[in-house]
Amino acid sequence: MYLRGGETYSEDDAAIYAAYILVHELGHQLFHFGHPFGAKACVMNPTPLLHFRDWVKGLSPRDCPIGSSNAMKPGAVNFALMKQNQ
**pLDDT at residue 48, as a whole number:** 87
- Is 83 part of a structural domain of the chain? no
Nearest to 46 by CA among 80, 71, 14: 71
- Is 58 part of a structural domain of the chain? yes
pLDDT of 59-70, one tens digit each?
A: 999 999 999 999
Residues 6 or more apart whose Cβ sits within 8 Å of residue 78: 32
Domain housing 45: 11-72
CA separation, residue 7 to residues 35, 47, 67 (Å): 24, 14, 33
- The total number of structural domains in the chain stands at 1
- Is 49 part of a structural domain of the chain? yes
- Is 23 part of a structural domain of the chain? yes
The number of residues in the chain equals: 86
* pTM, full prediction: 0.85
- Is 47 part of a structural domain of the chain? yes
pLDDT of 25-58, one tens digit each?
A: 999 999 999 999 999 999 999 998 889 999 999 9
- Is 53 part of a structural domain of the chain? yes
